[in-house]
Amino acid sequence: MKLTRRILMGAAAGGFLLSGTAAMAQTELTFWSWRQEDRAFYQDIIKKFQAKEPGITVKFETYAPENYQTILSTALAAGRGPDVIQVRAYGNLETIATPGYLLALDQQNVPELANFPEPALAAETLRPDGKVYAVPFAMQAQLVVYNKKIFKDNNLNPPKTWDEMMALAQALKAKNINPFSNGTATAWQNETIVGGLLSSMLGKEFEADIVSGKANFTDPRFVNALAKLKDISQYFAPNFTGVDYPSSQQLFVAGRAAMFAGGSYEVANFKNQNPTLDLGVFPAPVLKAGDQALIATYYDGGYAVNAKTEKKDAALKFVRFLATPEYGTAFTNTLKNLSPIKGIKIEDPITQDVAKLAENSMSYLMLVRFRYQEPSGSVLLQSNVQKMLAGQQTPEQAAAEINKGIATYYKPFQK
């Protein structure tokens, strides 16, 4: 009797110890994302991380992008939520960082922040306290994607100046080829088109003047650029005011248009749908030869740590891993999206081109600077450019409307 009891107690104690060590060894982190399509990549990354940190497991969970922000902020407001969080940037980061849901990151707890350029960190910085709340993951650019085969068949080269661009579009149209597949029916496409086609004409100086309040959106540089856009819109997809985002993508993917003004993120998507496409990218054409050609860049989002997590050390370890050049290289080469981490090795030639073009860039203006308050610069730009391209207002009117909306809250314009 005594013996059996002892055996039982020993077994129980042994079991307790075993389960105890197991629990100590395995810290499970949850990691939320809206990138269901990148699941395989993240599973692979988690494996690589575990090879370095055998004591930590990471559970990757995704939610639909359109509901992600809502689900996430609901969970965080209830004091729950994941340990590691994929978050957006700029205004959308602020809605989550302002209530104190995210752990502030600095060179102390994440030394790898030194691997990032300043604008990338700025995208994940909360303006009121100046602290960084996430490790940035991708840089995007608005530029022109072109079909190399169509260009070659017609003896065309990527245009440098706006006049060359107009002549090229005219030449393509004369041969019954759609110069651009772009359409304006989906509101946000108007903003990407502006970024892709007008950045060089606006210029870095214009951005600086907007920030300082030296110029506003009624500035001739902005109005003239809009007028040029109105000009070139005759070469967009047929009936472009009724062509939505998916239709314009399909037109380009099917090889029925030579150019697509839009995001660098389109390239991987286009190639997935039609691997035979031979694609290239070029920056927005300049007004006169000798001006600096620019693309419009911004950062997509970052990886943050839940301020309330009980597994802070493990979560920080994981986030630090997501800030290494090793991770940046894998991210860039697998997802064909440019990681902002310095010192990565890029395999894909188009991504290399984008990285090179990014050396001369201005901000994707409305997202980076004016998406913090309503009416956001994006809402104003999208609807007013849409209206202008539909022929229902002049470039001057569009610029005045945009300026009026932003001036309701933007101090430098109120002087």
Binding residues (CB under 8 A) for another protein: these are: 65-66, 69-70, 73-74, 76-77, 88, 91-92, 94-96, 98-101, 183-188, 191, 237-244, 247, 371-372, 374-376, 378-379, 382-384, 386-387, 390, 392, 405, 408
Closest CB to another protein among residues 165, 367: 367
How far apart (Å, rounded) are the C-alpha atoms in residues 253 and 46? 33
Determine contact, residues 189/260, Cβ cutoff 8 Å. no
Nearer to another protein, 110 or 365 (CB): 365
Distance CA 328, CA 345 (A): 8
CB of 160 to another protein, least distance (A): 31
Answer whether 221's CB lies under 8 Å from 203's CB.
yes
Q: In the bound complex, what is the minimum distance in angstroms from residue 382's beta carbon to another protein?
A: 6
Which is nearer to another protein, 8 or 77 (by Cβ)? Answer: 77
Helix (H, G, I), strand (E, B) or coil at 12: helix
Length of the chain: 415
Give me the numbers of helices (H) and strands (E) for the chain, helices first please.
Answer: 17, 11
DSSP H or E segment with residue 51: helix 39-52
d(CA 271, CA 113): 32
Question: ∠ CA(347), CA(263), CA(392), 5° rounding?
Answer: 165
Please state, in angstroms and rounded to a whole number, the distance separating the CA atoms of residues 341 and 323.
7
Rank residues 202 and 251 by Cβ distance to another protein and give the closer one: 251
Q: Measured from the CB of residue 3, what is the shortest distance to another protein in angstroms?
A: 55
In the bound state with another protein, the residue whose beta carbon lies nearer, of 130 and 290, is 130
Query: Tokens standing for 138?
Result: 């991708």
Q: Rounded to the nearest whole angstrom, what is the least distance from the CB of residue 91 to another protein in the complex?
A: 4
The whole-angstrom separation of Cα 290 and Cα 40 is 45
Least CB distance from residue 386 to another protein, whole Å?
A: 5
Please identify, using beta-carbon distances, which residue of 10 and 65 lies nearer to another protein: 65
Q: How far apart are CB 169 and another protein at their closest, in Å?
A: 19
**Rounded to an integer, what is the distance from CA 93 to the centroid of its chain?**
13
State in angstroms the smallest separation of the CB of 70 from another protein. Answer: 5
Count of CB atoms within 10 A of residue 16's CB? 10
Smallest distance, Å, CB 98 to another protein? 5
Residue among 54 and 65 whose Cβ is closer to another protein: 65
Q: Are 194 and 162 in contact (CB under 8 A)?
A: no
State the Cα–Cα distance between residues 302 and 92, nearest whole angstrom. Answer: 11
Complex with another protein: residue 57 or 73, whichever CB lies closer: 73
Phi, psi at 151, each rounded to 5°: -60, -45
For another protein, which is the closer residue by CB, 328 or 377? 377
Task: Specify whether the CB–CB gap between 61 and 72 falls below 8 A.
Answer: no
CB of 275 to another protein, least distance (A): 24
User: What is the rounded distance in angstroms from the CA atom of residue 199 to the CA atom of residue 142?
Assistant: 9
Instruction: Judge whether 281 and 12 are in contact, CB under 8 Å.
Output: no
Q: Which is nearer to another protein, 69 or 333 (CB)?
A: 69
Q: Which residue has the tokens 């809206």?
A: 34
